[in-house]
Structure 1
Amino acid sequence: MPLSSTPRDLSVAPAPTSWLERLKAAYDLVHTSEAFDGPQARYFRARQIQSVLRLLPLVLLGNAVNCVAIIALFWEQVQPYWLVAWGIFVIGGLSLGSTIWRGMLRGGGRPWASRKALNVLTLQVSLYAVAWASMPVGLFQVADHPSQMLIATVVVGMLCAGGFILSPHVEAAGTYVLMIAVAAGIGLWRSQYATYFAIWGVLFIYAATMLAMVVSSARVFMSRVRADAEAERQAQLVDLLLKDFEEHASDWLWEVGADGRLRHVSARLAHSLQTTDRELQRLPFADFLRQRMPLQLADAADAHELLARCLKRPVSFKELELPLQVGHEVRWCSLTAKPLHDEQGQHVGWRGVGSDITLAHRAREELARLANVDSLTGLANRYCFGRELQDALLRAREEAREYALLFIDLDNFKTINDSLGHAIGDKLLRHVGARLKTLGPTGSVLARLGGDEFALLVPKGGDDLWVDDLARKILTAISEPFQLDEVQVSAKTSVGIACFPRDGRDPDHLLKRADLALYAAKAAGRNTSRFFDPVLEESANTRVRLQQELGVALAKEQFEVMYQPQVNVRTGQVSGFEALVRWQHAERGLISPGDFIPVAEETGQIVPLGTWVLRQSCMEATRWPAHLKVAVNLSAVQFRSTSVVDLVEQALADSGLPASRLELEITESALIDDHDGAQATLMALRERGVRVALDDFGTGYSSLAYLRRFSMDKLKIDGMFVRHLATDMDAQAVVTAIISLAKALRLTTTAECVETAEQLELLRALGCDDIQGYLMARPLHAGQVPEFLGRENLMSVMHHGAR
């Protein structure tokens, strides 16, 4: 049967509306036609004919008995030749009809019949009905009462039996029942019982009942035939899909009986396991698979044991993974199966599907490896190290062991990356990882946590001296030059150390304290190691609290700007004031800028703080005499901001302060990373009339290239040189060089931290322009500035010092 030969789906057919449509719909249910059943109609007609032919032997026997009874009964009453001819016609016609009907079936294993064949069957049934109808019509009126009873019995029997036997073909059955009923009625009408209306009623009811039974039986028969055809179609479709599945899919089917042996051997299964059908059926399936268990895998035996347990219980299992040794490689398969049961519900085997999941299993293992391994160095990554650290500390508690956690961070990696490129930087990290790997003792765990940061967890082999010796070995090993292709690279590192259980009893605390120790090593000058000290954590906590409180102080404007005068050395007149921010904490009192400014720079809070100081200073300077300037410090973070020029313009515009009265102080660190950006910012500020001073000159990189490349107005001499000016000839030489350099470049100079008259005289002798410090005045509140400016003899103050 073609798979496309699907009967019309009655469930989705539109509901009939008129009585003609309803009659047509009812007729389609008991009738076969190409319009309704498609190509299947030919097969259904054959099934109708076959249904009649199956009962034909009984029909022949019954007809023969009835004919003999009628002939014997009326042999003396009717001409014998007429009875013989009638009997021969009935029996012979029925026999001939059966031969003709069989001949109308076409095809071999799946017979079919044409519409003409059913029309011929209907015609032959009509002739057969006429032959039997002649018997009550011709004999009932001449028969005596017993004979009439026999005729009535035969008629009723033929009516029921014929209608039932012919019911698969509703047209033939209906014609037969109607013709027999009409003949019985004619015979009754011609007899002396014509006035017995009860007999007429019974005849009518019998005929109507038989017609209803014919229609009902035909509906049941056609429904069963169509259902069988649909089931056969579905079975063929399943067989086709299974065949296609076995021929083209990577999976394979398997089925085992109660003895555990394969019933059906898939060619793909044999191919996947590199064996033959006979070998597969030689042993129970589970035993066959166990023989191919890879002994080198630790979990292989457990997987095969699980399969054996599953096959002992009649419960479905899904995606059970098994490793198998196939040739010279290990392959993985996945088995899914459901139990099979017989009619009594007894378990008789298994049927399922298997898949070769080797590639998927390898991909899963690779993903698991990548999830735990740093792809650049091949070391453990942060996630894996955290898990290993957790497990190690659990074991350490049980075994009362001590561990040391070393954080290792390269000191100059950013410089190497920026100057030599990221490719060289990546190679350096791989070589660093390889060297560290050789230093870790047995049982240690080495990981790359990210960037240029590594972590080494080692079981302590002694006291802190032993750990310190290991840290020194790491510093020495990393300091040796690395040959990376044609480039030789030198690297330095810092090491922070925390010990379990002394410095932390859980991974989080131990990691945090090792990081604090690393921070301390960096602060101590780098290329060194430091153990964790509780003071470090206290300092870190203080910084965190300071950071939080700094945000609150910014929101509530709890800061104050104070002003330290800058005085001209030659005239003794005030030339301006430097704005200095102070934080008067509600609980801790005055907090030094050295404590909160670094925190503000680290967190980015220096930008809003610096903007506030700039605006306050400009507003306050407008209250001073017009010749006085205000100097405001800009941090490196502020200076690198793209909006610094706009902020300065806005502060000047809001306050009304002329740009020539504003002097911005920047440090050398603000110029290091972005030369082009710094140059553009400096030019933009000076074009607007703002003066720029280089603060703390002499303490940083002090490259003369900065002074040649960047436009400046002033150099500020750091107080560390001024304090030792009178006692240290080297400090005096540095100050002399700075002043001489400034004069050569046509820059002014300001010396900070001037505290004694002797320092003042030396600076005047060396040619310094301006000074500031406690010798003149401490930083003043805004309200104290007018009083300070009102002093008549500032030079006297400069000579004798301020109290």
Structure 2
Amino acid sequence: MPAKRPSSPAYPARPATRQLCRVGEEYRRDFEELRGDGIRAAILNRTVIQCAAASAAICVLNRYLPVSLLLGWTVLLATTLICILKLERGLEANRRRRVPRLFRPYIIASGLNVCTWSTLVWMVAEVGNLELQVQLWAVSAFLIAASGMLLPGSPSFSILLAGTLSALHIATFLASGQFGMGATAIAFALLSAAGIVQSGRRYRTAKRALAVLQENEEVVSLLLREFEDSDADWLWEIDTTRRVRSASRRFAYALAREPQEAEGQYFLALLAGEGKNPVAVHASLIDLAERLNRRESFSDLLVQVTIGDTPRWWELSGTPKTDEYGRFAGFRGVGSDVTAARLSSEKIAYLARYDTLTGLPNRLMLTEVLGKALEQARERGTTCAFLMIDLDRFKTVNDTLGHQVGDQLLAHVSERLRGQMIENQTCCRLGGDEFAVVIDNVGDAADVAITAQRIIDELSQPYGIEPHMLFVGASVGSALGPRDGANGETLMRSADLALYRAKDAGGNAHFTYEPSLHAVAEERRQLEAALRTALQANEFELEYQPVVDAQHERIVGLEALLRWNNAQHGLVSPSKFVPVAEDTRLVIPIGEWVLRKACLEAIRWPDAVRIAVNVSGEQLLDPNFSAVIVRALSDSGLTPQRLEIEVTESIFLRDANLARTALEEIMALGCTVALDDFGTGYSSLGYLRELHFSTIKVDRSFVQGAAVGNSECLAIIRAVVAMANSLGISTTAEGVETIAELDVARSLGCNKIQGFYFGYPMPASDALELFDSRLSSTG
């Protein structure tokens, strides 16, 4: 890869005066970019100039000023000079790392140095000796002129020094009536300033030109070195007889030969390999030979060659060459070995069409195979079939034993599927635990049924995955093409509907597509359409189910449950319309209505009673969900501590980090969060530690199992309660319907109880009356 060209210094060819006098960040950048390697020379020049000028000043003033005063001035001057020199050395050592903290002290030290020189002018003015003033002005003139000439990289310092000293001398001359000397000093000051500016401009222009020159030399050097050192490209040349001429070292290296061995050999014979059977020569090499024969130019021609016994891929470009008389003299060109890129592209093409876990064709290749089978069926007047396969109980394996065991199981399933395929059958993996089979030129529906049953029987056999013995089944839905679908998408949809029917029937079964299955899909479509207008039609209502304290049996909260009564469909079960709402994201506005309605109702209850609202993953992961809660609380006046948000473990499956962030925002508002149906899905033990859930709700299946003495259910509830107690989390037993279930939940340590035993879901008016009943009076 070519080296990136460094950017040129961003300075004009002829800088303005104001650019030469700048300080701060711009001066720091100027120092780094322009002074660069001249810092050491500036240190030496500044030392010599200042020492020489100081020696001259002391020689002039030692007869007029006390020795102690001159000694103190010398110490002060030396101190400022040493500070400047140290700071300049520090800037030199750190200029590549950009240390801004060194520049402010550097500017301050420079200013103090100028002030030190200025005190001499003031002291001489106090003496009142005209000759002494002129002599000191001569020393200052030397200092100004020398600084301007020998420190072109520090124009700011030179201008400050010249301006300050010149102004003081001019004022001194004019105050003593020496107008001639004052005019001379003014003229010298103007000329010095002009000289300093001109010197700085020249210095900056020269430095910029040098930087550009060095940059261009570096780029050229890098390009030449990269080309010389790279083995990726080489030059090749052949004569009119196609023999290699002027074989370069890299071309010979690509041929695994020495240059003298390649010289004079037939070009195509070298590429084909020794002892290569002409019949077995790759088509790309034949194409190259034809282009050479036609004497036409070619570019980026991909050719398969044989080096030794190893096939390689080369990319060749060539142009015919002519002699001084315009006659054809052979070919010359460049080439590169692109074997790695070729293999990579082949691997990418393979990965695009095959599943990496199972090695089966994936959905993309399935679409191609199915489309081809449908096209041939239409042309021949025959039938093809499409089978969609879904594993039964696979989710349980993943949830209990982990994804690694699940992946091993999928690999075993794919091997069994592959073993069941015959000549006209192709099996593919659609994704997850879904597979598909395409059957070309099928006899009739009975043959499809036989194949489906054979697949079910084979996949239902036990799987030995150490140290486990696993049992899963398979559900199959099939459709015939082009009868049940004129294109691949329609045929897959028909088979999918048949698969849904097989799953609804309990699994481990095969169902064929029937037109009546579309009625089920149509019902869902109508349900979705009705759901979109349900909010505006005020068809939703909330019912509330009590949650009581396990020990004192007083109401500590109510859970809001959504009900939908539609004019066309009647009372629709939540198990039917909630999945539709989630799939269409209608659950977001519906959930907002539920939150607002529940909070408005809960404000009428006693302060100690909480309202619990179920929230789906779609709501929780919506960016505006926190704002929805804030509005519901604000509009109702309900305190955040009385609102409990209930979520299920499945929220961590989609985007665990986003779900955790959303829950943390809810908790930051002061609301509590309950984990519903714990233990029936995704195991979120890690998030129990990281997030401060207020409640874990034990699923009703465990409670009912424990009531009849199921040891596994008893062990699970004990473990959940113990874990919750150690984390400071309350536990609620769901689905308590009998006194036996209440007793076992209470004996196992559950803090709260919810179920039909204490009350069915009821309208808001009935819920309000509960607080005058026995349950509330016990509190």
The structure 2 residue matched to 1:507, chosen from 488, 503, 509, is 488
Does the Cα contact within 8 Å between 2:678 and 2:699 map onto a contact in 1? no
Q: Which moved more, 1:501-510 or 1:347-356?
A: 347-356
Cα gap change, 1:716 to 1:365, in 2 (>3 Å) = closer
Does the Cα contact within 8 Å between 2:273 and 2:308 map onto a contact in 1? no
Provide the residue aligned with 1:88 in structure 2. none
SS in 1 for 2:443: coil
Distance 1:682 1:265 in 2: 74
Cα gap change, 1:376 to 1:579, in 2 (>3 Å) = closer
Paired AA for residue 328 in structure 1:
D
User: What does 1:197-216 align with in structure 2 at a 5 Å threshold?
Assistant: none
For residues 202-239 of structure 1, give each alpha carbon's deviation from its aligned partner in whole angstroms, at most 9, with x where no partner exists: xxxxxxxxxxxxxxxxxxxxxxxxxxxxxxxxxxx9xx
User: What does 1:46-195 align with in structure 2 at a 5 Å threshold?
Assistant: none
The structure 2 residue matched to 1:672, chosen from 680, 687, 693, is 680
Does the Cα contact within 8 Å between 1:751 and 1:772 map onto a contact in 2? yes
Distance 1:693 1:253 in 2: 75
- What displacement does 1:295 show? 5.8
Paired AA for residue 339 in structure 2:
T
User: What does 1:184-583 align with in structure 2 at a 5 Å threshold?
Assistant: 249=231, 251-266=233-248, 269=251, 272-273=254-255, 285-286=267-268, 300-343=281-324, 345-459=326-440, 461-544=442-525, 546-547=527-528, 550=531, 553-554=534-535, 558-561=539-542, 581-583=562-564
Structure 2, unaligned stretches of length 5 or more?
A: 1-12, 14-219, 548-554, 648-673, 708-712, 722-729, 773-779
Does the Cα contact within 8 Å between 2:601 and 2:764 map onto a contact in 1? no
Cα gap change, 1:740 to 1:260, in 2 (>3 Å) = closer
- What displacement does 1:546 show? 3.6
* 1:684 aligned onto 2:694: yes
Distance 1:682 1:354 in 2: 64
- What displacement does 1:317 show? 0.6
Does the Cα contact within 8 Å between 2:430 and 2:436 map onto a contact in 1? yes
Cα gap change, 1:559 to 1:335, in 2 (>3 Å) = same
Does the Cα contact within 8 Å between 1:553 and 1:559 map onto a contact in 2? yes
Matched-pair identity in %: 34
Cα gap change, 1:296 to 1:616, in 2 (>3 Å) = farther
Distance 1:368 1:663 in 2: 47
- What displacement does 1:432 show? 1.4
- What displacement does 1:682 show? 11
Distance 1:771 1:417 in 2: 36
- What displacement does 1:399 show? 2.7
Provide the residue aligned with 1:167 in structure 2. none
* 1:654 aligned onto 2:636: yes
Distance 1:657 1:248 in 2: 71
Aligned residues: 500
Does the Cα contact within 8 Å between 1:335 and 1:352 map onto a contact in 2? yes
Distance 1:614 1:699 in 2: 30
Which is higher, the Rg of structure 1 or of structure 2?
1
User: What does 1:666-745 align with in structure 2 at a 5 Å threshold?
Assistant: 669-670=677-678, 672-673=680-681, 674=683, 684=694, 703-704=713-714, 709=720, 716=735, 737-738=740-741, 741=744
SS in 2 for 1:255: strand
SS in 2 for 1:669: strand
Paired AA for residue 506 in structure 1:
N
For residues 45-93 of structure 1, give each alpha carbon's deviation from its aligned partner in whole angstroms, at most 9, with x where no partner exists: xxxxxxxxxxxxxxxxxxxxxxxxxxxxxxxxxxxxxxxxxxxxxxxxx
- What displacement does 1:492 show? 2.8
SS in 1 for 2:356: coil
Distance 2:315 2:609 in 1: 83
Distance 2:249 2:643 in 1: 95
Paired AA for residue 488 in structure 1:
M
Does the Cα contact within 8 Å between 1:292 and 1:324 map onto a contact in 2? no
Paired AA for residue 239 in structure 2:
G
Provide the residue aligned with 2:168 in structure 1. none
Cα gap change, 1:257 to 1:588, in 2 (>3 Å) = same
User: What does 1:745-784 align with in structure 2 at a 5 Å threshold?
Assistant: none
SS in 2 for 1:502: coil
- What displacement does 1:581 show? 3.8
For residues 474-507 of structure 1, give each alpha carbon's deviation from its aligned partner in whole angstroms, at most 9, with x where no partner exists: 2222222222244333333332323221221212
Does the Cα contact within 8 Å between 1:640 and 1:670 map onto a contact in 2? no
In the superposition, the TM-score normalised over structure 2's length comes to 0.51
Structure 1, unaligned stretches of length 5 or more?
A: 1-13, 15-236, 567-573, 687-691, 719-734, 753-768, 774-778, 791-803
- What displacement does 1:622 show? 6.1
For residues 135-188 of structure 1, give each alpha carbon's deviation from its aligned partner in whole angstroms, at most 9, with x where no partner exists: xxxxxxxxxxxxxxxxxxxxxxxxxxxxxxxxxxxxxxxxxxxxxxxxxxxxxx
Distance 2:297 2:406 in 1: 56
Distance 2:355 2:611 in 1: 51
Does the Cα contact within 8 Å between 2:315 and 2:337 map onto a contact in 1? yes
The structure 2 residue matched to 1:599, chosen from 577, 580, 589, is 580
Does the Cα contact within 8 Å between 1:332 and 1:357 map onto a contact in 2? yes
SS in 1 for 2:301: strand
Provide the residue aligned with 1:39 in structure 2. none
Paired AA for residue 457 in structure 1:
V
Distance 2:583 2:415 in 1: 33
SS in 1 for 2:388: strand
For residues 397-437 of structure 1, give each alpha carbon's deviation from its aligned partner in whole angstroms, at most 9, with x where no partner exists: 22333222222233333332343333322222221111111
Cα gap change, 1:551 to 1:282, in 2 (>3 Å) = same
Cα gap change, 1:506 to 1:684, in 2 (>3 Å) = same
Cα gap change, 1:521 to 1:652, in 2 (>3 Å) = farther
Cα RMSD for the two superposed structures: 5.6
Distance 2:452 2:327 in 1: 72
Paired AA for residue 434 in structure 2:
E
SS in 2 for 1:431: helix
Cα gap change, 1:441 to 1:596, in 2 (>3 Å) = same
In the superposition, the TM-score normalised over structure 1's length comes to 0.50
Q: Which has the higher contact order (CA 8 A, sep 6+)?
A: 2
SS in 2 for 1:410: strand
Does the Cα contact within 8 Å between 2:557 and 2:610 map onto a contact in 1? yes
Does the Cα contact within 8 Å between 2:702 and 2:716 map onto a contact in 1? no
SS in 1 for 2:677: helix
Distance 2:519 2:278 in 1: 53
SS in 2 for 1:534: coil
SS in 1 for 2:236: strand
